[in-house]
């Protein structure tokens, strides 16, 4: 496969933190603009604006998981954590249900592949975490475009 296929998982918490942070900054400016001569309005406006800046900064730091297939390689990236798997080593995939969706990859014999842990929490895991807003149908269409069959329709089973 010479073409790049890419999917960025939506992160709802990031959008909420960004919008709430920007709203608090605006609210802080409005509170100060109402009565700029009174110390209570200035203090409240400053605290609201600082809280909004902190919330928006934290929202910008949240990294969304990215799935990508290019140049014969499957790549999963979430911040500094990167997993690269040669495309020919992937036999099938499965999506784990639950509050936070996860993607599992299987080798050509149908056994789940193991990946190093995220942020050194476990020794290894058999899935790659996505986000709760990631639709299983969207993951299935991405994998179909990439040419990876689902586990239930794998050639080996």
46 and 71 inside one domain: no
Strands 124-125 vs 92-96: parallel, antiparallel or unpaired? unpaired
Cβ count within 10 A of residue 4: 10
39 and 77 inside one domain: no
Q: How far apart are CA 20 and CA 113, in angstroms?
A: 39
Q: What is the pLDDT of residue 12?
A: 86
What residues contact 138, with CB distance under 8 A and at least 6 apart?
7
146 and 69 inside one domain: yes
Q: What is the pLDDT of residue 156?
A: 47
81 and 24 inside one domain: no
> pTM value?
0.74
| 3-class SS of residue 95 | strand
84 and 137 inside one domain: yes
Q: What is the pLDDT of residue 20?
A: 96
For the chain, how many structural domains are there in total? 2
Domain that holds residue 149: 65-153
Q: Which token pair is 81?
A: 């954590």
141 and 128 inside one domain: yes
Cα-based distances in Å from 128 to 37, 72, 84, 93, 132: 54, 19, 12, 11, 13
Angle subtended at Cα 3 by Cα 86 and Cα 140, rounded to the nearest 5 degrees: 70
129 and 84 inside one domain: yes
Burial category of 154 from C-beta neighbours within 10 Å (exposed 0-12, middle 13-18, buried 19 and up): middle
Mean pLDDT by 10 residues, the chain (157 residues): 78 91 96 90 94 95 89 87 87 84 87 76 77 85 86 55
Q: What is the pLDDT of residue 153?
A: 53
Q: How far apart are CA 31 and CA 25, in angstroms?
A: 10
85 and 136 inside one domain: yes
Q: How far apart are CA 157 and CA 154, in angstroms?
A: 6
Q: How far apart are CA 7 and CA 31, in angstroms?
A: 41
Cα-based distances in Å from 49 to 4, 41, 138: 42, 12, 38
Q: What is the pLDDT of residue 119?
A: 60
């Amino acid at each position: 496969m010479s073409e790049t296929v890419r999917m960025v998982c939506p992160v709802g918490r990031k959008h909420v933190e960004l919008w709430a942070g920007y709203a608090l900054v605006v609210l802080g400016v409005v509170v100060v603009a109402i009565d700029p001569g009174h110390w209570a309005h200035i203090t409240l406006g400053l605290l609201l604006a600082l809280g909004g800046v902190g919330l928006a900064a934290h929202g910008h730091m949240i990294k969304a998981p990215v799935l990508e297939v290019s140049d014969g390689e499957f790549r999963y990236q979430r911040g500094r954590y990167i997993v690269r798997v040669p495309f020919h080593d992937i036999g099938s995939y499965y999506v784990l249900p639950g509050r936070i969706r996860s993607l599992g990859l299987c080798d050509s014999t149908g056994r789940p592949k193991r990946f190093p842990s995220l942020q050194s929490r476990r020794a290894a895991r058999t899935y790659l975490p996505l986000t709760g807003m990631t639709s299983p149908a969207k993951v299935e269409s991405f994998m179909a475009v990439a040419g990876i069959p689902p586990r239930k329709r794998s050639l080996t089973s």
